[in-house]
């Protein structure tokens, strides 16, 4: 890899050639060619044992389990190219987390996505938010009118979490106008019912569901 004159500890090479949007300077993804709707989602920590056919890689696991993808993204290009598409990393945004960290995690989501695009990998933007204050930046860098993905896993345990998710989902639809949303995890009617006439929703079970079929929402 070409050496630079600055410390690249934050993987600045990922966004070489990118445009930056908004006050935080979030990398703008390139235009997104229509990706096939995946038949299955495969967690990135299980991807090496899968053939990738009709599947997309997801990052709906603990952040520490995909940290190496953020710090050494080029190493994973050959693996990712075996799959039809890759969802951008689900870096955590949560209520009470500092704004600086939430903006950084949004930045890394788009930075990795942009780098994968530059290397010929089809991506699907994964969108993550916390509370209403994150709406200022959490939708930045994603082209309008394209398929996106979200996860409810671990995000709708309490009534307050359900309300925040529903509010964020509505804000995302207004900001990005996606025709299709891939949803990893449960899709309770109380959250998604009001939006079924506005967007096509495709649901994928979480790993928790697959291993705890009677475990309830997680």
Residues 6+ apart with CB under 8 A from 127: 138, 139, 142, 148, 149, 150, 172, 176
pLDDT at residue 11 in the model: 87
pLDDT at residue 168 in the model: 98
pLDDT at residue 163 in the model: 96
This prediction's pTM: 0.92
pLDDT at residue 51 in the model: 84
Q: What are the CA-CA distances from residue 112 to residues 73, 78, 167, 192 (Å)? A: 7, 15, 27, 29
Task: List the domain boundaries for the chain.
Answer: 33-210
* CATH number belonging to the domain at 33-210, selected among 3.40.50, 1.10.3470, 3.20.20, 3.30.70: 3.20.20
- Per residue of the chain (218 residues), what is the pLDDT tens digit? 454 555 566 789 999 999 999 999 999 999 988 789 999 999 999 999 988 889 999 999 999 999 999 999 999 999 999 999 999 999 999 999 999 999 999 999 999 999 999 999 999 999 999 999 999 999 999 999 999 999 999 899 999 999 999 999 999 999 999 999 999 999 999 999 999 999 999 999 988 787 776 655 55
Residues forming beta bridges with residue 43, ordered by sequence position: 58
pLDDT at residue 158 in the model: 94
């Amino acid at each position: 890899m070409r050496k630079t004159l600055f410390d690249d500890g934050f993987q600045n090479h990922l966004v070489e050639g990118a445009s930056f949007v908004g006050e935080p300077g979030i990398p703008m993804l390139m235009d997104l060619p229509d990706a096939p709707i995946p038949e299955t989602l495969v967690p990135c920590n299980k991807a090496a044992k899968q053939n990738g056919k009709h599947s997309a890689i997801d990052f709906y696991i603990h952040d520490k389990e995909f940290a190496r993808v953020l710090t050494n993204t080029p190493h994973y290009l050959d693996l990712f190219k075996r799959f039809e598409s890759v969802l951008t990393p689900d870096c955590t945004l949560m209520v009470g987390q500092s704004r600086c960290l939430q903006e950084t995690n949004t930045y890394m989501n788009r930075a990795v996505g942009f780098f994968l695009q530059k290397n010929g990998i089809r991506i699907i933007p994964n969108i993550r938010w916390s509370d209403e204050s994150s709406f200022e930046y959490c939708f930045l860098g994603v082209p309008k009118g394209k398929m996106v993905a979200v996860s409810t896993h671990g995000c709708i345990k309490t009534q307050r979490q359900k309300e925040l998710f529903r509010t964020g989902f509505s804000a995302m639809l207004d900001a990005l106008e996606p025709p299709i949303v891939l949803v990893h995890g449960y899709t309770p009617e109380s959250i998604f019912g009001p939006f079924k006439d506005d967007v096509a929703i495709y649901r994928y079970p979480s790993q928790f569901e697959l291993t705890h079929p009677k475990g309830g929402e997680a």
